[in-house]
């Protein structure tokens, strides 16, 4: 019964994102919504990486550093080396994963609070590095990045040239949604595998996990590397959409928002970051009409939600189930 419900839920979700959303946008003529939803999908991928570090009991406030690094890796490879964008996606993710291993090996040995404090400065370090390096062109950034080219295999076109498409906004939306679905499917598989069960043991009691032979240092670094890989591909995808990147493209505030997305959606749910990103993104835009009170109302609502629903918005379903059983 539970599996049938999950399959039905996945089917409805796919129907919404691939059929109903494009139909609604075409009917309304609001093509700008494609960019908004594309941004939500890509931000949720970066947030999914942050959620994985929460899953091992660590607070990650530095994901903005990896989205920025992934964006620059893709931009440099496309503009200066002529590499096809589609090949830069995994390369950007792998670069960020390798970078996170170098950073994570020493700091993941620290207790959680110290790890969180160090990750807080990573995004600013990445920004200053982008300002200083000649290859990133400093404050000028990298602009005029071409749209994704055609990707073919044995003469067969797998992905068309976006520059030749009549509606590249739709193409970017589909790209982002497919990446998001693949990312969350992989995350769900990780969480429900033996690796995921071992990671959960770190969240509960690291000393106990270590006493039964769990290599906690290895698991921490592996989870952090996967988290950073997600940040890298999200950053690279943003570069393709905006066709530019600057040192200020991702800031400390973005790293904090990635973390808030996880809290809001629910730390106990794999798909929590996806819902949290959607609500946070549109919630901020809806409050724009309140003017100077926007930030005050926004922060107050977030605090209230976290107090009333400490397990996130997805815990509403659990509360409803308990109420029905009573």
pLDDT value of position 214: 76
Query: What is the helix (H) or strand (E) element at residue 158, kind and residue range?
Result: strand 156-159
Q: How far is residue 277's CA from residue 196's CA, in Å, rounded to a whole number?
A: 23
Q: Domain ranges for the chain, please list them.
A: 31-251
pLDDT value of position 126: 95
SS (HEC) of the chain: CHHHHHHHHHHHHHHHHHHHHHHHHHHHCCCHHHHHHHHHHHHHHHHHHHHHHHHCCCCCCCHHHHHHHHHHHHHHHHHHCCCCHHHHHHHHHHHHHHHHHHHHHHHCCCCHHHHHHHHHHHHHHHHHHHHHCHHHCHHHCECCCCCCCCEEECCEEEECCHHHCCCHHHHHHHHHHHHHHHHHHHHHHHHCCHHHHHHHHHHHCHHHHHHCCCCHHHHHHHHHHHHHHHHHHHHHHHHHHHCCECCCCCCHHHHHHHHHHHHHHCCCCCCHHHHHHHHHHHHHHHHHHHHHHHHHHHHHHHHHHHHHCCCCCCHHHHHHHHHHHC
pLDDT value of position 318: 63
Burial tier of 273 (Cβ tally within 10 Å: 0-12, 13-18, 19+): buried
Sign of the alpha-carbon torsion through 220, 226, 229, 231 = negative
pLDDT value of position 155: 79
As given in the structure block, the two tokens for residue 166 are 């009549």
Q: Is 92 left (phi over 0), alpha (psi -120 to 50) or beta?
A: alpha
Q: How far is residue 114's CA from residue 123's CA, in Å, rounded to a whole number?
A: 16
CB contact burial 209-246 (16+ within 10 A = b; e otherwise): beeeebebeebbbbbbbbbbbbbbbbbbbbbbbbeebb
pLDDT value of position 293: 84
Q: What is the pLDDT along the chain (326 residues), one digit of tens a residue?
A: 567 777 888 889 889 999 899 999 989 888 889 999 999 999 999 999 999 999 988 889 999 999 999 999 999 999 999 999 999 999 999 999 999 999 988 888 776 677 888 888 999 999 999 999 999 999 999 999 999 999 888 878 888 999 898 889 999 999 999 999 999 999 999 999 988 888 888 777 777 777 777 788 888 899 999 999 999 999 999 999 999 999 999 999 999 999 999 999 999 899 999 999 999 998 888 888 788 888 888 888 888 888 888 888 888 866 555 554 55
pLDDT value of position 273: 95
Q: How far is residue 242's CA from residue 33's CA, in Å, rounded to a whole number?
A: 15
Q: How far is residue 82's CA from residue 186's CA, in Å, rounded to a whole number?
A: 30
Q: Is the pTM of this model over 0.85?
A: yes
pLDDT value of position 324: 46
């Amino acid at each position: 019964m539970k599996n049938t419900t999950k399959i039905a839920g996945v089917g409805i979700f796919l129907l919404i994102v691939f059929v109903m959303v494009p139909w609604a946008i075409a009917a309304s003529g609001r093509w700008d919504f494609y960019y908004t939803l594309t941004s939500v999908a890509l931000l949720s991928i970066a947030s999914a990486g942050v959620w994985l570090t929460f899953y091992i009991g660590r607070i990650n406030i530095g994901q903005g550093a990896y989205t920025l690094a992934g964006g620059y890796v893709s931009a440099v490879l496309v503009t200066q080396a002529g590499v096809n964008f589609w090949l830069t996606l995994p390369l950007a993710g792998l670069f960020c994963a390798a970078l996170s291993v170098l950073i994570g090996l020493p700091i993941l040995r620290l207790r959680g609070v110290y790890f969180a404090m160090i990750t807080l400065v990573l995004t600013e370090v990445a920004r200053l590095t982008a300002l200083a390096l000649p290859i990133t062109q400093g404050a000028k950034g990298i602009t005029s990045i071409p749209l994704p080219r055609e990707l073919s295999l044995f003469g067969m076109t797998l992905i068309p040239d976006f520059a030749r498409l009549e509606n590249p906004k739709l193409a970017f939306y589909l790209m982002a949604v497919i990446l998001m679905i693949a990312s969350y499917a992989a995350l769900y598989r990780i969480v429900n595998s033996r690796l995921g069960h071992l990671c959960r043991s770190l969240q509960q009691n690291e000393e106990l996990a270590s006493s039964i032979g769990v290599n906690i240092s290895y698991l921490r670094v592996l989870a952090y590397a996967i988290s950073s890989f997600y940040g890298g591909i999200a950053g690279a995808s943003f570069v393709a959409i905006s066709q530019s990147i600057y040192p200020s493209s991702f800031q400390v505030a973005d790293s904090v928002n990635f973390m808030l997305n996880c809290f809001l959606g629910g730390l106990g749910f794999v798909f929590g970051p996806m819902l949290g990103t959607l609500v946070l993104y549109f919630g901020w835009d809806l409050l724009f009409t309140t003017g100077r009170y926007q930030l005050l109302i926004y922060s107050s609502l977030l605090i209230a939600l976290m107090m009333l629903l400490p397990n996130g918005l997805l815990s509403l379903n659990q509360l409803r189930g308990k109420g029905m059983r009573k």
